[in-house]
Amino acid sequence: MSDFEKRSSEYTKLINSAVSEYVSAKSFEGRESSGLEMMLEAMAYSLENGGKRIRPLLTLEFCRVCGGDYKKALPFAIGVEMIHTYSLIHDDLPCMDDDDMRRGKPSSHKVFGYANALLAGDSLLTLAFETVLSAPDISGEIKARAGFELAKAAGCSGMIAGQVMDLANEGRAASLDDVMATDKRKTGELIRVSALLGCIVAGADEEKIKAAEKYCENIGLAFQIVDDILDVTSDEETLGKPVGSDSENEKSTYVSLLGLDESSRYASELTAKAKEALEFFGSEGEFLLELADRLSGRKS
């Protein structure tokens, strides 16, 4: 097992154990209600359903490379993953992308119904901020800054703005600039803030923060381009979700605007730019260098 695989495995085990703990009945002792058990089941169904855990992994690793104790950043990493999961639950709803499958399993609304899926997403969104703001052994100033940055990235000028723009792009000939502006918010903002939270917990200076944000800006856009490519070239079994939905929804994508070859070239160019940003971290950036390459070359 390579050093990358060892560290990735360590982070993933830590993250998966924590997400289960945060949506367990034990974490809500003394706050029982008639609807809690079912809602925790719905929240856990999506939050524990695997995924690449890229965002919380970025939080932990950027905390480490900036000289912090990555275990102290765990609540912040889990907060980001909760928001990411809530966004996927809502994204799959009939009023949004209307997808019946997510990561090889029926979407939340297919299992728990539309209303309960909506509420499970709402619950994860609010629990994310409770998790960040109650992080132990972290100063109130750091928690307040982290909560503020997370709210901006996830809100109506960040991820949600991107979702609104994405819906507006359906059924019309959106330009490449439109698609890029959408993806920088819908996908990129949560990836960016994932790294930023790790930097904040570690007490990183502005130079490190700028390098981290440049890295994430580029891998975030590359990630979405690869998503568009896989929507055309992959299959439902490999991806764990329907393919061809972009075409069905008449959405402009990198593939429809640039073609497969140029889209692949652009993703590679962005990955190279992301890796350049890591020069600031020297040998400590090795894990993030390999992560960029793996995300660019992924098949699912």
Mean pLDDT (the chain, rounded): 94
Residue 241 has pLDDT above 70, yes or no: no
Question: Mean pLDDT across the stretch 80-107?
Answer: 95
Residue 243 has pLDDT above 70, yes or no: no
Q: What is the pLDDT of residue 235?
A: 73
Q: What is the pLDDT of residue 299?
A: 84
What are 177-215's pLDDT values in tens digits? 999 999 999 999 999 999 999 999 999 999 999 999 999
- The residues pairing with 203 across neighbouring beta strands, listed in sequence order, are none
Q: Return d(Cα 31, Cα 249) in angstroms, integer.
A: 43
What are 274-295's pLDDT values in tens digits? 999 999 899 999 999 999 999 9
What are 114-173's pLDDT values in tens digits? 999 999 999 999 999 999 999 999 999 999 999 999 999 999 999 999 999 999 998 888
Residue 239 has pLDDT above 80, yes or no: no
Q: What is the pLDDT of residue 260?
A: 95
Q: Return d(Cα 207, Cα 105) in angstroms, integer.
A: 42
Question: Mean pLDDT across the stretch 50-56?
Answer: 93
Q: What is the pLDDT of residue 230?
A: 94
What are 19-42's pLDDT values in tens digits? 999 999 999 999 988 889 999 999
* pTM metric for this prediction: 0.95
Query: Of 53, 50, 52, 43, which Cα lies nearest the Cα of 23?
Result: 43
Q: What is the pLDDT of residue 10?
A: 97
Residue 246 has pLDDT above 80, yes or no: no
Q: What is the pLDDT of residue 50?
A: 80
